Structure 1
Amino acid sequence: MLLVSLALVSTAWLAAAPQDCDDVGSWSATCQTVNTGSSIEIGADYTAPGTSGGGSGSGGGDRGPGRGPQVDQPVAGADEECNPVVGCRGNYEVWMLPEVTLADLASFTPARPSIAGEPDGVAVVGMPANFVAAATEQQIAGELFDLPVVVRFTPTQYVFHYGDGSSRTTTTGGATWPALGQAQFTATATSHAYGARGTYGAAVTVRYAASVDFGTGAWRNVPGFVEATAGGYSVRVVEVRTALVDRTCLEDPGGPGC
């Protein structure tokens, strides 16, 4: 009888027990499973490839009608093929991938985004000023739980803080007016119109979705967001007034509006 102990196996898998076993040898019956609450024991009679059911592996007595020879219990360390992610074959030890939280990723930090605007550093009261943020997907290799891992950060949300107490959350970092094919001072998905003169400090916070790959080739999402903020973009907001004059400011520097 071959017993295999599997730790931390999903209880949903147990609903299918007993399971048919498939290997290079042959099983005399379907696998029988026993759930102990913390592990699962699977047992079945097994005939090794290239042998017959006549006697034991060393010429011993028959185990009964229709049964193959006794198969020795696998010994830990003998002909093992181990992987730090999926465990070992040979002693039938199975390792489950660890659950990852944002707190576990404290040592993995995405690069800060950038923020710019147009007109560059200037805005007009009551007219849209366009803001553009840049952030890219990043993959950072390292170690987590003593296992090699790659952490991927993908920008998913942009929160623009305009410095006057207002903000806007978008799924895009925006684009320049020429790139959008729009005229200057037209509204965009990331623009903002200031209501009063002054100098304001604008910033953007990018929310990154995180996922991890422990070398299996499959990305596993981590709940929540990792945030990175870029600030320090100063906007001087001015008023624009028009007046009818008979001469330009070059001709009459002391004239109205000059």
Structure 2
Amino acid sequence: MPEIIYDEFVPGLTCDSSDESCVRKDPAAEPVDAGFPAVTLADLASFRPATPQLTGEPAGFGVVHMPTNFVATASAQDIPGVLLGYPVTVRFTPVAYVFSYGDGQSLRAASSGVAWAASGSPQFTPTDTSHAYQERGVYLSSVATEYSAAVNFGAGWRAVDGVVTARTGDYPVQVVEARTALVERTCAEDPRGPGC
């Protein structure tokens, strides 16, 4: 146990020797898990973070060769319970996101992504989590959120080595081709016109 050694008398301390050399434990060095068992990820099997959510922009659609924006929703969670016979709170904190786009491509990102409107960007602006599909079709995308874990038996937080992964269900994206043509009237003027 780390100790602070005082070579001179410090008022208010009880000295153990006649030369008044005093010893006091450093409170900052006290382990927060004193008396509690070591915890591994396997021990946390009954504690699971909530399933993250995945959305895309445009909602459920994409355009060939143009960015489809993906945004995951996940947050830190404190889950109370009993672990190894002790009352405990387990905290899961998102630390990374692995986006699988359904076309064989994936991306590991530190950010969960941000909606175009929230960032003040126009549609089809590339983002840190967007993806451009190369062919039309329906793709099943998903995201796996990696959470760090920490436990608190009532004496402070202690990190648990490794990460816990929670995965979304499939989010289908229909990717279409964009084609342009000269038309006589806009879709607002003629909703049944070509391309409307």
| TM-score, normalisation: structure 2 | 0.78
Query: What code does the residue aligned with 1:227 have?
Result: T
Match for residue 180 of structure 1? Answer: 119
Partner of 2:179: 241
TM superposition outliers: structure 1 runs of 4+ over 4 Å? 23-30, 245-253
The Cα offsets for residues 32-61 of structure 1, whole Å up to 9 and x where unpaired, read as xxxxxxxxxxxxxxxxxxxxxxxxxxxxxx
1:96 to 35, 43, 47: 35
The percentage of aligned residue pairs carrying the same residue is: 52
Give the aligned residue type for 1:226: V
Instruction: Assess if the C-alpha contact under 8 Å between 1:158 and 1:204 holds in 2.
Output: yes
Deviation at 1:231, TM superposition (A): 2.1
The residue aligned with 1:210 is: 149
Name the CA distance, whole Å, in 2 between partners of 1:105 and 1:143.
Answer: 10
- State the partner residue of 2:86: 147
2:62 pairs with 1:123: yes
Distance in 2 between the 1:122 and 1:152 partners? 35
Aligned position for 2:48: 109
Give unpaired runs (5+ residues) of structure 2.
6-11, 20-31
Q: 1:187 to 1:109 in 2, by over 3 A?
A: same
Query: Could you tell me how far apart the structure 1 residues matched to 2:114 and 2:73 are?
Result: 9
The one of the two structures with greater contact order (alpha-carbon pairs below 8 A, sep at least 6) is 2
Mark the CA change 1:227 to 1:244 in structure 2 (over 3 Å): closer, same or farther.
same
| TM, length-normalised to structure 1 | 0.60
Q: CA separation in 2, counterparts of 1:147 and 1:251?
A: 65
Contact 1:160 1:204 in 2 (8 A): yes
User: Aligned partners of 1:252 and 1:119: how far apart in 2?
Assistant: 22
Distance 1:134 1:149 in 2: 26
CA-based RMSD: 3.0
Q: Find the residue that maps to 1:107 and give its secondary structure.
A: coil
> SS of 1:220's equivalent?
strand
Give, in angstroms, the shift of residue 26 of structure 1: 6.8
Which one has a bigger Cα radius of gyration?
A: 1
Alignment length (residue pairs): 175
**What is the one-letter code of the residue matched to 2:116?**
W
Q: Secondary structure at the match of 1:111?
A: coil
Which residue of the partner structure matches residue 71 of structure 2? 132
Query: Partners in 1 of 2:186 and 2:128 — Cα distance?
Result: 38
Q: Given the alignment of the two structures, is residue 224 of structure 1 paired with residue 162 of structure 2, yes or no?
A: yes
Corresponding letter in the other structure for 2:101: Y
CA contact under 8 A between 1:201 and 1:231: conserved in structure 2?
no
Shift of 1:97: 2.5
Structure 1 unmatched ranges of 5 or more: 1-9, 17-22, 31-84, 87-94
Could you say what secondary structure the match of 2:144 adopts? strand
Equivalent residue, structure 1, for 2:98? 159
Amino acid at match of 2:74: A
Q: CA deviation at 1:112?
A: 0.4
Q: Deviations over 1:187-232 (max 9, x none)?
A: 001100000010001100000000011100x211101000000022
Distance 2:109 2:125 in 1: 18
Cα distance 1:252–1:121, how it changes in 2: closer, same or farther (>3 A)? closer
